[in-house]
Amino acid sequence: MTLMKKTGLTLLFIGPASIFFILIIAYPFFSGIYYSFTEWNGVNAKPIWVGMRNFIEIFKEDSQFFASFWFTVRFTVTTLILTNVLAFTFALILIQPIKSRGPLRTVFFLPNVIGGVLLGFIWRFILVNGFGTIGELTNLQVFMLPWLGSPETGFWGIVIVYTWRSVGYLMIIYIAHLLNIDTHLLEAAKIDGASSFGMFSKIILPLSMSAITVCLFLVLSWTFKSFDIVLSLTAGGPFRSTETVALNIYYEAFSYNNFGIGSAKSLIYFILVGGVTMLQVRFTKSREVEV
């Protein structure tokens, strides 16, 4: 092949995807770093260099930004634990010889295919109107709380929706993984007199660390970037108590037109997300067991 032909083919094969990638991700990402150091008030306005001012302002004056970070972290950790425990439990049960397991898997997965905006609105109705009715019918205190009307109920509302939506997805991954575990190991352990709990904690769980890594990573990336469900469920309210970082950055840029500060916030956000992701993958990977 001549060099010219080779270059032509390379361009043909990797050219289109690379151009789109540079235009839509790479260039915006790097120019965003520059914009973090500017004052910039609108898409068409000219950014003016201000050095570290945006960062100083964020760290000194913007307590709401850190409140939204703290909210995101709390909500991420809670959801991470709830979804994985539930998904693992469902997976363990749904690999048993149960007649209804096919339809049950479908039911658990179903919420996952529906878009976040719709899910948020569905649950706004359930939490505000549905829960009220259930409360009247059953007299249970939980249902009569002012759902979505206080910071705590807002928090749990969002956790419920995310758990409802994510469990089925993780369950599929856990089922695929559990079916791959070599049953000889378990039989051998049984013959040696291991208890069910012993087999679970000493064999099944350690062998599942690779699937757990994947699932933790997935939930982390969903919840840490959560935007649309929160927007349609609580819009960050009441009193900005359920505002996630993604929502905070969105408001900063597109409601207040502070594009410079918005860029600075997204840079801080990127560094934290990247850091946490890398730590998490390294941590769970170090606990994986190879057989």
Partner 1 sequence: MIAQKRNTKVTIAEIFVILAALLFLAPFYFVIVNSLKPFGEILKNAASLPQVFAWSNYSNAIEKINFVKVLCNSLIITTLSVFLLVIFGSMTSWWIVRHKSKLTTILFFAFVAAMITPFQSIMIPLMRVVTKLHFVNTRIGLIIVYMGYSTPFTVFLYHGFIKSVPLQLEEAAIIDGCNTLQIFFHIVIPLIKSMTVTVLILQALLIWNDFLLPLLILSKKDLHTIPLAVFSFFGQYTNRWDYALATLVLGMLPIVIFFLLLQKYVVAGVRSGSVKG
Residues 90-119 that bind partner 1 (CB under 8 A): 90, 92-98, 100, 104-111, 113-118
Question: Three-class SS of residue 38?
Answer: strand
Closer CB to partner 1, 136 or 152, in the complex:
136
Q: What does the alpha-carbon distance between residue 265 and residue 59 come to, in Å, rounded to a whole number? A: 10
Closer CB to partner 1, 155 or 251, in the complex:
251
CB of 221 to partner 1, least distance (A): 7
Sign of CA dihedral 158, 163, 169, 173: positive
Site for partner 1 contains 169 (CB under 8 A) = yes
Nearest to 220 by CA among 80, 82, 72: 80
Q: What does the alpha-carbon distance between residue 9 and residue 290 come to, in Å, rounded to a whole number? A: 41
Site for partner 1 contains 35 (CB under 8 A) = yes
Q: Which one-letter amino acid corresponds to residue 20?
A: F
CB of 62 to partner 1, least distance (A): 16
Which residue in the set 228, 237, 240, 241 belongs to the binding site for partner 1 (CB under 8 A)? Answer: 228
Site for partner 1 contains 256 (CB under 8 A) = no
Integer-rounded Cα radius of gyration of the chain: 24
User: Of the ranges 49-57, 59-67, 69-77, 263-271, which one interacts with partner 1 (CB under 8 A)?
Assistant: 263-271
Site for partner 1 contains 267 (CB under 8 A) = yes
Q: What does the alpha-carbon distance between residue 249 and residue 260 come to, in Å, rounded to a whole number? A: 11
Site for partner 1 contains 159 (CB under 8 A) = no
Site for partner 1 contains 37 (CB under 8 A) = no
Site for partner 1 contains 142 (CB under 8 A) = no
Give strand ranges (E) for the chain: 38-39, 48-49
Task: Look up tokens 């059953």; give the residue.
Answer: 138
Bridge partners (DSSP) listed for residue 30: none
CB of 256 to partner 1, least distance (A): 12
Site for partner 1 contains 274 (CB under 8 A) = yes
User: Of the ranges 28-36, 62-70, 73-81, 150-158, which one interacts with partner 1 (CB under 8 A)?
Assistant: 28-36
Closer CB to partner 1, 242 or 252, in the complex:
252
Site for partner 1 contains 198 (CB under 8 A) = no
Question: Three-class SS of residue 153?
Answer: helix
Virtual torsion, Cα 117, 122, 128, 133, nearest 10 deg: 180
